[in-house]
Amino acid sequence: MSILVVGSVALDSVKTPFGEKSDILGGSATYFSYSASFFMPPGKINLVAVVGNDFPEEHLELLKSKKINLKGLQILEGQTFRWSGCYEGDMNEAKTLTTCLNVFETFKPEIPDSYRNTEYVFLANIDPDLQMDVLSQIKKPKLVAADSMNLWIKIKKQSFIKLLSKIDILVINDGEARIFTEQSSLIKAGKIILDRGPKYIVIKKGEHGSLLFSKKGVFSAPAYPLEKISDPTGAGDTFAGGFFGYLAKLNKTPNESNLRKAIIYGSVMASFNVEDFSLERMKRLTYKEIRNRYKKFKEITSF
């Protein structure tokens, strides 16, 4: 089995109460693929994105070292997508300072022939029309999940609604779910989105955990309790990488039980990612640490 991910590969500038870093590796597809790579055999993650010719070689080497396929990564003349944001007080929500689309502005995802049979498809946060375009290029996906963000939900609501009817799982955060459904109750929001088509909805609530909605009901998981969060950037995408990577590794039709485990793996991966800036903590991470934190998660939620 293999995973295809389409999304952003970026250079981020981030300020948190614990420091300030410029032009560090970021992007939704970057965080997702790096996180999912812990669950997949080598060479089974197909990345689709675009960067400019200013993108540092060392970042490409890092992704290659995790055996992530970069055949679908376009390197175009121009500057890489740049995002800058800061966190003050509430570490759950980034305040976006600037977004420079650069080569991302005219990005037209091209799916290499060797990617077209990918079974597990993750449409990370990009324009919903592009997400649909990518999906139409995949022959027979077994499982399709998607993420989105406020911007697209606001300016491309109809495309987003169309996308919902074509995917199995939607992974979004609480603020986005509220904006889309115009409901303050997340339970109501989850149900409304389920009615739009996806079989499962995952609503991420930052340090307050996540909710899984299905026709059978709701599962609620806490976030792993951490004393210090250095940089929350990429937590959502890292969560999605662990969640989807675990499901792809199982390679079975997801059921309630394995979706719940996938949520916990997602939470474990996100909890590591926020311990340092960019992918610094993920670079030092071992599968043994993931297993140990998964076990601890069980202990702290059992009663």
Return residues touching ligand AMP (CB under 6 A).
8, 10, 12, 26-28, 31, 83, 99, 125-126, 151, 233-237
**Quick one: 214 or 240, whose CB is closer to ligand AMP?**
240
- The smaller minimum CB distance to ligand AMP, of residues 101 and 300, is found at 101
Give the type of residue at 164. L
Q: Work out how close the CB of 248 gets to ligand AMP at its nearest, in angstroms, rounded to a whole number.
A: 19
Residue whose CB is nearest to ligand AMP in the complex, by number: 26
CB of 277: closest distance to ligand AMP in angstroms?
Answer: 11
Which of residues 10 and 211 has its CB atom nearest to ligand AMP in the complex? Answer: 10
User: Smaller CB distance to ligand AMP: residue 26 or 198?
Assistant: 26
Residues 6 or more apart whose CB falls under 8 angstroms from that of 121 comprise: 3, 4, 5, 134, 135, 138, 141, 143, 144, 145
Closest to ligand AMP by CB, 31 or 297:
31
Q: How many angstroms separate the Cα of 191 from the Cα of each of 46, 209, 211, 262?
A: 32, 18, 12, 20
Taking the complex as a whole, the smallest distance from the CB of residue 198 to ligand AMP amounts, in Å, to 19
Residue closer to ligand AMP, measured from CB, 27 or 242: 27
CB of 32 to ligand AMP, least distance (A): 8
Lookup result for tokens 């997602």: 266
Could you tell me the smallest distance in angstroms from the CB atom of residue 207 to ligand AMP? 13
Tell me how far, at minimum, the Cβ of 131 lies from ligand AMP, in Å.
11
